[in-house]
Every structure is written in C-alpha cells, then in structure tokens.
C-alpha cells in the first residue's frame, strides 16, 4: 500500500510527463455544480464583498445563489479554487496585498507606528 506522499509523487510524475508531451489525456476536473452561497458563507463575506474581492459581478452572485443561472466552467473552476484555497486566489489576484512580511495589515500598522514615532 502506497503512502500519501508516494501517491502525491506519482501524481507529480504524471503532471511532468503531461507537460513534457510524453503523456496524453490529462483533463482538469471542473465540477458541474458549485454551491456559491456555501463558499461565500464559509468565508463570512457578503455578496457585495465576495463579488468585489474575487472579481465577479454582484448580479452574477445573486443569480447563482438564487438558482436562476449556473456559473460557466471558468467561473466554476475559480469558485472551486476559492473554496479550497482562498488565500492563493487572493494572492494571485492582488499580489500587492502580500509583502515579504505577510499582509497589507502589517504594512498599515508599520505606517501607523512610524507616524506615531514622528509625533513624539
């Protein structure tokens, strides 16, 4: 029985073979349905915030959650990644938000500390 690490390494080997052209047939799995409301609620965001942060229109969020429309494959792909790793998506969509120290919050607090030091 293979360990989880061995399974991951096998998967990486498959990816390398595909990227080098030695293996055919790789296809990403895009789910047919995505529960947008559950993803948004898990992140504790309003519809407006979720749409702004991740680049969706507010109307699209409302229609998806109301069941009037279904997200197209690219949107389902992005929503799936958001559900599994929202920090990666946030970093990819807003690289300025992360610094070598961590987050924007850290830089904002640094500015506050500097301004306080100047006033003393």
Domain residue extents for the chain: 1-29, 30-119
Residue 102's pLDDT is 42
16 neighbors 7 (Cβ within 8 angstroms): no
Between residues 117 and 49, the one the model is more confident about: 49
**Whether the predicted pLDDT of 2 surpasses 80:** no
CA–CA distance, 104 with 87 (Å, rounded to integer): 13
Residues in the chain: 120
Between residues 4 and 37, the one the model is more confident about: 37
Between residues 110 and 93, the one the model is more confident about: 93
**Whether the predicted pLDDT of 25 surpasses 90:** no
What are the CA-CA distances from residue 115 to residues 50, 109, 110, 112 (Å)? Answer: 32, 10, 9, 5
pLDDT bracket for residue 19 (50, 70, 90): confident
| DSSP-H helix ranges across the chain | 4-19, 36-42, 47-54, 58-66, 73-84, 86-93, 104-119
pTM over 0.75: no
Residue 12's pLDDT is 81
- What average pLDDT does the segment 83-108 reach? 69
**Whether the predicted pLDDT of 6 surpasses 60:** yes
CATH architecture type of domain 30-119? Orthogonal Bundle (1.10)
């Amino acid at each position: 029985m293979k360990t989880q690490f061995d399974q991951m390494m096998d998967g990486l080997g498959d990816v390398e073979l595909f990227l080098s052209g030695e293996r055919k047939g790789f296809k990403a799995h895009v789910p047919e349905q995505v529960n947008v409301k559950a993803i948004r609620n898990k992140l504790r965001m309003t519809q407006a915030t979720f749409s702004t942060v991740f680049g969706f229109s507010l109307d699209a969020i409302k229609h998806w959650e109301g069941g009037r429309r279904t997200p197209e494959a690219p949107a389902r792909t992005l929503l799936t990644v958001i559900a599994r790793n929202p920090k990666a998506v946030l970093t990819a969509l807003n690289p300025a938000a992360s610094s070598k120290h961590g987050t924007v919050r850290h830089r904002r607090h640094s500015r506050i500390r500097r301004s306080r030091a100047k006033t003393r």
